[in-house]
Amino acid sequence: MFLLSGHELSRCPKGEGYYCKQCGRDSFQPNENWWGDNCRYRKRCDRQNMRYADIGSTIRDAVCACMQGYHFLGEDQRFCIPNEDCPKGKEPGIYGQCEDCLPKHMYSDTVGATKKCKPLTNCEKQHRCTASPSDGTMDNVCGPVVKDLETCEALRPHSSSSFTVYAIAGGVAGGVTLLLLLLLLLFFLKRRSTLRRERWGMKSHDKEKGRGRGLNDNDKEELRLALLKESDRDPALCKKVLQTTRSFVEERIERQIWHLAQELFRVHPKQGQFERIVKKYKG
């Protein structure tokens, strides 16, 4: 014979025959069974951040669930881990993934790890038109009460007209911004051209003044003051002057070091020639 679910076949105390024994408080047997198919242990839902969704019975297993703000690590449902924050329009699922509210005819207007989707307002049940349908991040916006809900269809095209107004306004704003950028670009190009002409005029003046003869001390001082003045006005020119000066000084130092080495390693028949060479480059 088969035993009813919730029971198992057990030997009599004296070892003669069998009897039908009911499953204990922590076990269950879902099937009709025979010898060898014993009661099974129910799930224990006493782990951290876990609770009983259904304590079970002698014919069904217990069902575990996670505390609010936690979800199962996997389908084995052995551990509960914290949820991640879900954005507006979504809620945490069974395994922690964020699920959309709108396909469930619900919405969520908050961000968090424990929030739940809220049911959308049914405007038609209130004899109102849906003035602005939900996008999942807000509730439906209902219009005034109407006698005939079929008139709601005539009100819906307003959304497209408002979209057209916003599109036109956005296009105008974009055109004005583009025009301002073009004017600003022209201003900088003109300013750059003026600075180049001034710089070129200064160079031409210096060439005419110094043509055919070397620069005396007064010319050098005048050129130095002019360079300082122009460098203060134009940071790019200042940087170029510093780079040119540094390159010139480095080249002079390298040339002197090379000439000094050549003269030191050259054979000199006169005595004291090395001392004179060192004194020459030292001064």
At residue 105, does pLDDT exceed 90?
yes
Q: How far is CA 124 from CA 105, 131, 155, in A?
A: 14, 11, 14
Comparing CA positions, the residue from 45, 46, 42, 38 lying closest to residue 26 is 42
Determine the pLDDT at residue 157.
45
In 3D space, the residue among 225, 230, 253 whose CA is nearest the CA of residue 240 turns out to be 230
Centroid of chain to Cα 184: 32
- Give the SS3 label for residue 261: helix
pTM exceeds cut of 0.75: no
Q: Which pair of structure tokens corresponds to residue 193?
A: 């051209």
The predicted structure's pLDDT at residue 184: 83
Percent of the chain with pLDDT over 70: 76
Q: Is the per-residue pLDDT at 79 higher than 80? A: yes
Contact indicator for 69, 54 with CB cutoff of 8 Å = no
pLDDT in tens, 189-208: 887 778 777 766 665 555 55
CA 164 → CA 7, 92, 156, 160, 168, distances in Å? 72, 36, 14, 6, 6
- Whether the pLDDT of residue 173 is over 60: the answer is yes
Supply the pLDDT for residue 19: 75
pLDDT in the model for residue 159: 46
Q: Which residue has the tokens 């199962």?
A: 72
First to last CA, the chain: 123
CA distance 72 to 66: 7
Report the pLDDT averaged over residues 108-126.
Answer: 91
Q: Delimit the domains of the chain by residue range.
A: 223-283
Non-local (6+) Cβ contacts of 31 within 8 A are 5, 37
H helices within 87-157, ranges in order? 152-155
